[in-house]
Amino acid sequence: MRRADQMTVAHLLSFLKSRGHAVDLYCINTGASASGDDLAWLREACREVHLYRFGKISSTVRAVFGILKKHPLQVGLFSHPEQRREVRSRIGAGDYDIVYTYYFRSAEITRDTGRPAGELPTLDDKRPATFLALQLSQTLNSRRISQNAPNLALRLFYEIESRLVAAYESRIWQNFTHSVVIGSRDVEEISKTCRAQGVAPINNYIFGAHGTDVSRFAPRTDIAERPHHIVFSGVMRTPTNVHAVQWFAQNVWPHVRSALPDATWTIVGREPSAEVRELDKLPGVTVAGTVPDPAIYMAEAAVCINPMQAGGGMQNKLIEYLAMGKAIVATPVANEGIGATPGEHLLVAETAGDFAAAVIALLNDPERRGALGAAGRTFVLENWTWESHWLRLEENFYAALPPLEGARVNNGGGLA
């Protein structure tokens, strides 16, 4: 439970338990190793934990059959039949008040199991309220990945996937009571996709972003900043992160080193790909890989960067930088789901030249770095704590229940 989505779900489980809810987790195990402590914590946080094996051959077969149904490849991969059968059996038995499906890749597991979009609950309605956490516009995300793919084969693959995603995303929301998105930009993009597909724009959305651990990611006065030092943090096998550091290395880093020959840059994050490890050969660059605590490395940075070209939605690394009171340079893509104010909380730059100029300027201006860092920390405390977002989500859970449903919830109703 170390990647962004995993941490999001883990924090949600912890929050729901602390609020007295009974939660059953149905989760595909893709083969990553979990420590005994992690598994023990998970079983303590949940009433039940159901793990399903992600077989490579069977998953590939499901993906192929999914494409024949015009489902995106990623949806087919995660349409686990045993998971689907068991979840639907429990929903049909009336075991749950709320069914929360994280990410549209799992939508086939729970689609049409509760009240559809636009149908109000009634007193005798025993169907659960279903929430599909779309999070971001997957159409926009896959299109950006296609446009920034490093070779023709991947570009064609993601182009095909983006078209399948557009057709699917524009309709799947109708099969759930509510859709959960991060912000208004995602609503705009999904609505645009709906209109392009000839269907009604999404109208059952609620906003449900997530936050960061403001105690773990906090200013560290016990750790000195390294002069002219830059840090990028992220899971370093994710294509969008790989492309981001490659873009920075090729287009920005030479300008920074030319202006500041002693400048250094550390890339922090799990499972660095071969392309990322290759960057370790560049002058001044260190690929740290997996580290016990990325916050320590961020604390040493004079400037933290997020040069994302593809992707969208939540950028955990950006919130963590802000929470630590660091001076930041980011692209508009990286900031669009966060909404920090350019010039007040961070610097935003789109072109390589502007990005380099912003980084160099901040490396040479400790007073400006301090002002941006302090404002960024305040911004996170006011807008991006875990609790503030989860409390709003819980309010939406209760609002989606039938009238007087509280009595049944107190008698054992749960969440899946």
Could you tell me if 391 and 379 lie in one domain?
no
- With CA atoms as reference, report the closest residue to 26 among 40, 16, 13, 35: 13
Helix axis angle, 138-147 relative to 184-196, nearest 10°?
80
| Number of domains observed in the structure of the chain | 2
Cβ contact 329:358 at 8 Å:
yes
pLDDT at 406 over 60: no
Confidence band for 313, pLDDT divided at 50, 70 and 90: low
Other beta carbons within 10 angstroms of residue 198's beta carbon come to 7
Indicate whether 305 pLDDT > 60: yes
Q: Mean pLDDT over residues 115-139, rounded?
A: 86
Same-domain pairing of 203 and 233:
no
Predicted pLDDT of residue 353? 97
Q: Which domain holds residue 377?
A: 229-383
Comparing 186 with 310, the larger pLDDT belongs to: 186
User: What distance in Å separates the CA atoms of residue 298 and residue 256, rounded to the nearest whole number?
Assistant: 19
In a domain, residue 310? The reply is: yes
397, 373: one domain? no
Across 211-220, 230-239, 275-284, the highest mean pLDDT is recorded for 275-284
DSSP 325-385: T--EEE-HHHHTTT-PPBTTTBEE--SHHHHHHHHHHHHT-HHHHHHHHHHHHHHHHHH-B
Model pLDDT, residue 407: 46
> How confident is the model at residue 124, as a pLDDT?
79
Say which residue the tokens 């004079």 belong to. 302
Q: Which residues of 110-140 are buried (b: 16+ CB within 10 A; e: fewer)?
A: bbebbbebeeebeeebebbbbbbbbbbbbbb
Same domain? 266 vs 351? yes
Q: Of 211, 168, 193, whose CA–CA distance to 391 is shortest?
A: 211
Q: Which of 219, 174, 227, 142 is nearest to 373 (CA)?
A: 219
Mean pLDDT, residues 366-372: 97
Same-domain pairing of 399 and 379: no
pLDDT tier, 68 (very low <50, low <70, confident <90, very high otherwise): confident
Half-sphere CA count of 296, side-chain side, radius 13 A? 5
CATH number at residue 138: 3.40.50
Whether 205 and 287 map to the same domain: the answer is no
Mean pLDDT confidence for 51-69: 86
The structure's pTM equals 0.76
Percent of the chain with pLDDT over 90: 62
pLDDT confidence bin for 412, thresholds 50/70/90: very low
As a whole number, mean pLDDT of residues 181-196 equals 90
Pairing verdict, β 285-289 and 205-207: unpaired
Per-residue model confidence (pLDDT) at position 410: 40
For residue 394, the model assigns a pLDDT of 95
Q: Residue 380 and residue 399: Cα distance in Å, rounded? A: 27
In a domain, 191, yes or no: yes
Residue 409 φ/ψ, nearest 5 degrees: -60, -45
Q: Tell me the percentage of the chain whose pLDDT exceeds 70.
A: 95
CA distance readout (Å), 43 to 24, 344, 382, 416: 10, 43, 32, 14
pLDDT at 416 over 80: no
Residue 45 included in any domain: yes
Report, as an integer, the average pLDDT of 58-72.
87
Same domain, 139 and 252: no
What per-residue confidence (pLDDT) applies to 5?
Answer: 79
pLDDT value of position 177: 96
